[in-house]
Amino acid sequence: MCNGKWLMVVVGLAGLLVMAPAARAQARPYIGYVYPAGGQQGTTFRIKLGGQNLDDLKGVIISGSGVTAKVVEYYRPIGPIEYSLLAEQLRELKRAKTQVASTMMTSGPAMTTSGEMMMSSAATAGTLAAVDATRSNLMARLEKRMTEYNLFPTSDALRSLAFIEVTIAPDAAPGERELRLVTPRGGASNPLAFHIGQVPEYSRKPMLTSPKQVLGKEELAKRKRPENEVEDRVTVPCTVNGQIASGETNRYRFEARKGQRLVITTLARQLIPYIADAVPGWFQPVLALYDANGRELAYDDDFRFKPDPVVMYQIPKDGEYVIAVYDAIYRGREDFVYRITIGETPFVTSIFPLGGRVGEPVSIKIKGWNLESAQLTPPPKDAAPGIQTLATTKDDFVSNRVPFMLDTLPECFENEPNNDIAHAQRVKLPIIINGHIDKADDWDVYEFSGNAGDTIIAEVYARRLDSPLDSMIKLTDAKGRLLAFSDDREDLGAGVNTHHADSYFMTKLPADGTYYVHIGDAARSGGEEYAYRLRISAPQSDFALRVVASSTSLRQKNSTSLSVYAVRKDGFTGPIKIGLKEPPAGFTAYPVTLSGTQNIARIAFKADVAIPDPVNLTVEGRATIDGKEIVREAVPAEDRMQAFLWRHLVPAQDLKILVYDPSYESPSKRVPRELTPELQAKAKAAADALKAKNQKFTKNQVAGRVRQLKLLFEEGLLTDDFYGEKVAECEAAQ
């Protein structure tokens, strides 16, 4: 066999397989978890991500300023044959390392792999040491790659692994960001939450990919964690990052002083709203606080209606304490990710009122822990109608963020007593009332005058503004007759809320007269935090839009489309024209109009120029309402399924688009050198041995093996000699 012939085999066989994907779009990349899901200001650290369709991973996008990230390594899924090749390569490296070590201990000459005499000298020793270091580095990479291998993972959506280096500037704004991965043809992935913290962080070792559980043998899938890793000692304040495996409990031990008002907050479902292939669809963390003797002091499995628990506890005496976290039904795998912050940090439990009128000052009362001298930042004066988020600041530490709604209608406050018709609070429409359901079994009643045929809307904003109120509303006339009633009403724009607890009705008044709107809690609960905003008005026709998905890609000079959902308000049935707002140069949009009976459409657009890095697009809708053109921008969203049944549109910050050149091919990462005659002879002998055993291979089998070898070689996991020898074996065995 002549030198270089095996190179032609690589081009001829593997090339056919590599060229095919260039002609079609890559599937949209997906990330199922990020671990750790954040870090402290002013630090650089590595994170691990699990996902799908991440081949040729090229970059990372983290929203906002002050954070940079780069891809360090990518592990595509491999099969048993590739695993066996890596194992064989590792064995050869170990044998070679042993031979080099033996050579360096002797004073005699040594032979190189090419058969040339190598004299023992200081220079030779240095060369051998360098070669040995390179070999040791490759061995370490192989061992890590093989350790991460799992042929039967719990979820195929998590099999691809990426390792990213993140740097957070000291002045990066704290709070939630969005992280996406980018591939050359698939574009930007779905976004996942990534948090910038303000206190020191501790992260447990990243989990390996969890094996699929077998019915009746679930115990075999449990994580084999060393006993000394079950509990960690930390210093508060801090944020701890971890992943929960099946049946696992993580514990953290810390010192605390008498009188400390500790707030222990959890981010879990807020990191990954919906977990692939899981019921009920998200990690349900439980927190339990113990003293040094193991006595339980506090416990929480949610915070009101949210699955992520919060423990607020005043320390009774100096000593050691332990916080434990586990899943409520003892499930777990690598995407059961959590961030728990422990410290005397400010935490807002409720605000009142829950909103205000656009352009008018409002005094907001805040309630919570460690809020002495804390300052609440109000919405900017030019803030538009809609839901804003507010936070307090104490000693430069920013609290959790809470929603605050702005509207254009007149506003007033509830005046007690107003618990029945006899004591009803009179209001003039239109009006938004800010009130509380102050105690159990409380009802608030509002009186207004109306005319026959008037259409009246009553709408509650409470659960959508983080109030625990599960509202019920009803309309009665002066004789107490029930005219309208509402408990729950689904809101497509409510994001990850799974209980649409806010009420709404629209009805026509039967006659001139006095009417009463009653509001109470469906669970007959109440308290200062059970706040609401109740709108009573004529219809305020409007609409909102969601565009799904929040990223896409297309070939240059081709077209694609996205789904747009319309959320019509107060019975609005007018047409809505959907298009792109100020698209980048080279984009052509094909606007679509939703008729009054349509709530979903596909908007198509074409790109004539390649855009190798994702850019932001804006989809907008236009409608004429009361003779005035109304323009609304569509909120990007991800279509997610809960427990294999219910679908939710989870909002994202941006709509990312990538346009790729169809002629693009992934650059070859490595070019192998030619085989020595000795290795060619060795490869031929191995192929002859297979033939002697009557083991023959088809062209397709050989092409598949060559492709596997090429991919492993380009990942830097095979040496030139090993790769060339195996390719030559394939060619000779055909």
Tell me the CATH number at 599: 2.60.40.60
547 shares its domain with 535: no
CATH number, domain at 394? 2.60.40
pLDDT on residue 59:
95
In three-state secondary structure terms, 684 is helix
In three-state secondary structure terms, 292 is coil
Contact present, 556 and 662 (Cβ < 8 Å):
yes
pLDDT on residue 21:
38
Q: Is 505 exposed, middle or buried (0-12, 13-18, 19+ CB in 10 A)?
A: middle
The region of weakest confidence among 136-140, 255-259, 407-411, 721-725 is 721-725
Residue 244's beta-bridge partner residues? Answer: none
Q: How many domains is the chain built from?
A: 5
What sign results for the dihedral spanned by CA atoms 275, 277, 281, 286?
A: negative
The region of weakest confidence among 48-52, 217-221, 523-527, 588-592 is 217-221
The region of weakest confidence among 300-304, 507-511, 562-566, 682-686 is 682-686
Model confidence at 479, in pLDDT bands (50, 70, 90)? Answer: very high
397 shares its domain with 438: no
pLDDT on residue 568:
95
What torsion, rounded to 10 degrees, do the Cα atoms 674, 680, 684, 690 define?
-70
568 shares its domain with 622: yes
Could you report the per-residue pLDDT of 642-651, keeping only the tens digit for each?
776 778 899 9
Q: Is the pLDDT of residue 575 over 80?
A: yes
pLDDT on residue 103:
65
The region of weakest confidence among 12-26, 119-133, 346-360, 448-462 is 12-26
In three-state secondary structure terms, 720 is helix
H/E element, 696: none
Tell me if 270 is assigned to some domain. no
pLDDT on residue 648:
87
Count Cα neighbours of 85 within 13 Å in the Cβ-side half-sphere: 23
385 shares its domain with 447: no
699 shares its domain with 621: no
Could you report the per-residue pLDDT of 212-251, keeping only the tens digit for each?
888 888 777 788 777 888 899 999 999 999 999 999 999 9
Q: For residue 351, which of 311, 312, 399, 409 has the smallest C-alpha distance? A: 399
Tell me if 262 is assigned to some domain. no
368 shares its domain with 448: no
523 shares its domain with 553: no
Tell me if 356 is assigned to some domain. yes
Model confidence at 674, in pLDDT bands (50, 70, 90)? Answer: confident
Mean pLDDT of 683-709: 75
What sign results for the dihedral spanned by CA atoms 294, 295, 301, 303?
A: negative
Q: Is the pLDDT of residue 375 over 50?
A: yes
Over the chain, what is the mean pLDDT?
A: 89
Q: Is the pLDDT of residue 6 over 70?
A: no
Model confidence at 318, in pLDDT bands (50, 70, 90)? Answer: very high
Tell me if 12 is assigned to some domain. no
Contact present, 231 and 74 (Cβ < 8 Å):
no
CATH number, domain at 483? 2.60.120.380
pLDDT on residue 126:
67
646 shares its domain with 562: yes
pLDDT on residue 224:
78
563 shares its domain with 675: no
The region of weakest confidence among 17-26, 411-420, 426-435 is 17-26
- Phi, psi (degrees; rounded to nearest 5) at 681: -65, -40
Contact present, 370 and 263 (Cβ < 8 Å):
yes
Mean pLDDT of 27-44: 97
Q: Measured between alpha carbons, how far is 4 from 477 in angstroms, rounded to an integer?
A: 94
Q: Measured between alpha carbons, how far is 448 from 430 in angstroms, rounded to an integer?
A: 10
Q: Measured between alpha carbons, how far is 675 from 730 in angstroms, rounded to an integer?
A: 14
Provide the residue range defining the domain that includes 371. 347-407
Mean pLDDT of 614-632: 96
Question: Cis bond leading into 430, ω under 30°?
Answer: yes
Domain boundary among 487, 510, 539: 539
Q: Measured between alpha carbons, how far is 550 from 534 in angstroms, rounded to an integer?
A: 32
Question: Cis bond leading into 237, ω under 30°?
Answer: yes
508 shares its domain with 554: no
Residue 37's beta-bridge partner residues? Answer: none
DSSP 176-188: EEEEEEEETTTEE
Tell me if 284 is assigned to some domain. no
Give the rounded distance of the alpha carbon of 672 from its chain centre.
39
Q: Is the pLDDT of residue 23 over 50?
A: no
364 shares its domain with 436: no
Starting at the edge strand found earlier in the chain, the sheet holding 576-580 runs 592-594, 576-580, 619-625, 628-633
Tokens found for residue 62: 């983290």
pLDDT on residue 14:
37
Question: Cis bond leading into 174, ω under 30°?
Answer: no
353 shares its domain with 372: yes
Tell me if 649 is assigned to some domain. yes
The region of weakest confidence among 101-110, 146-155, 478-487, 665-674 is 101-110
Q: Measured between alpha carbons, how far is 415 from 436 in angstroms, rounded to an integer?
A: 10
Model confidence at 316, in pLDDT bands (50, 70, 90)? Answer: very high
Give the rounded distance of the alpha carbon of 64 from its chain centre.
16
Tell me if 315 is assigned to some domain. no
pLDDT on residue 5:
37
Domain boundary among 636, 660, 684: 660
Helical segments of 358-439, H only: none
Q: Is the model more confident about 13 or about 40? A: 40
Could you report the per-residue pLDDT of 525-537, keeping only the tens digit for each?
999 999 999 999 9
Tell me if 330 is assigned to some domain. no
Domain boundary among 609, 634, 660: 660
Mean pLDDT of 28-40: 97
Cα–Cα–Cα angle for 387, 286, 367, rounded to 5 degrees: 40
Percentage of residues of the chain with pLDDT beyond 70: 90
